[in-house]
């Protein structure tokens, strides 16, 4: 076999640009974009449920209304059965929306709040007045009995108007409040 050094050199020169381009990320640990995006300040997270073609958590521009989301996701569907006050209400980060659709008409919209565990992952501040027993269980240090006491206290004494009002529940002290503070708004009025 006769060696052809010129041919091997030509082949190496042809492969060099591809090797530099594609090997750089592996060899030199080139930083790539993250696997998830971080929310921008003017964005909200809303979970779309039943009735939407792509259910799941989606990010929208702050100020987006229920009607705007429906128009984006289901253009052409008749919304005449839905009151305009419902369609024009701005959505809040952490809300959950589902629809009942019959043929080409949307006959009802149901809304509520995402599970607290999901809001915590997305760094959406929690509001005690929107939480149920299962939501309380998502917080560190809360078991079924304490979750039940919180719910009972809220039913008996009314909504918590400030973060510190959680102290009125037996079993919640300053240490627990400190541990939970990263999950809550300090001003509950802004969440209503």
Considering 36-40, 46-50, 75-79, 184-188, the range whose residues carry the highest mean pLDDT is 46-50
Give residue-wise pLDDT tens across range 66-116.
999 988 888 888 888 888 999 999 999 999 999 998 888 888 899 999 999
Is there a domain that residue 1 lies in?
Answer: no
Least confident of 24-38, 40-54, 129-143: 24-38
Look at 127 and 11; give whichever has higher pLDDT. 127
pLDDT band at 18 (very low <50, low <70, confident <90, very high): low
Torsion of CA 64, 70, 71, 73, to 10 degrees: 110
Looking at residue 32, its pLDDT comes to 46
DSSP string, 100-169: EEETTEEEEEEEEE--HHHHHHTTPPB-GGG--HHHHHTSTT--HHHHHHHHHHHHHH----SGGGGGGS
For a pLDDT cut of 70, what percent of the chain falls above it? 80
Which CATH number does the domain housing residue 142 bear?
A: 1.10.150.320
Quote the domain boundaries for residue 105: 43-113
Looking at residue 168, its pLDDT comes to 94
Final residue of a structural domain among 89, 113, 137? 113
**137 and 169 belong to one structural domain:** yes
**47 and 108 belong to one structural domain:** yes
With CA atoms as reference, report the closest residue to 87 among 106, 102, 104, 103: 106
pLDDT band at 2 (very low <50, low <70, confident <90, very high): low
Q: What's the mean pLDDT in 36-64?
A: 84
Structural domain tally of the chain? 2
**63 and 85 belong to one structural domain:** yes
Is there a domain that residue 10 lies in?
Answer: no
**63 and 103 belong to one structural domain:** yes
**101 and 50 belong to one structural domain:** yes
């Amino acid at each position: 076999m006769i060696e052809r050094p010129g041919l091997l050199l030509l082949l190496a020169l042809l492969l060099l640009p591809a090797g530099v381009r594609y090997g750089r990320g592996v060899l030199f640990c080139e930083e790539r974009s993250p696997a998830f995006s971080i929310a921008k300040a003017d964005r909200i997270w809303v979970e779309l449920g039943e009735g939407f073609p792509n259910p799941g958590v989606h990010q929208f521009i702050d100020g987006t209304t229920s009607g705007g989301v429906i128009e984006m996701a289901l253009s052409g569907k008749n919304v005449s059965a839905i009151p305009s006050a419902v369609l024009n209400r701005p959505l809040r980060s952490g809300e959950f929306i589902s629809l009942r659709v019959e043929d080409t008409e949307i006959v009802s919209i149901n809304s509520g709040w995402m599970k607290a565990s999901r809001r915590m992952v997305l760094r959406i501040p929690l509001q005690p007045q929107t939480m149920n027993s299962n939501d309380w269980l998502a917080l560190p240090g809360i078991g079924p009995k304490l979750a039940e006491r919180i719910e009972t206290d809220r039913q008996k004494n009314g909504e918590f108007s400030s973060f510190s009002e959680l102290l009125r529940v037996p079993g919640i002290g300053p240490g627990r409040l400190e541990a939970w503070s990263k999950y809550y708004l300090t001003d509950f009025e802004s969440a209503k």
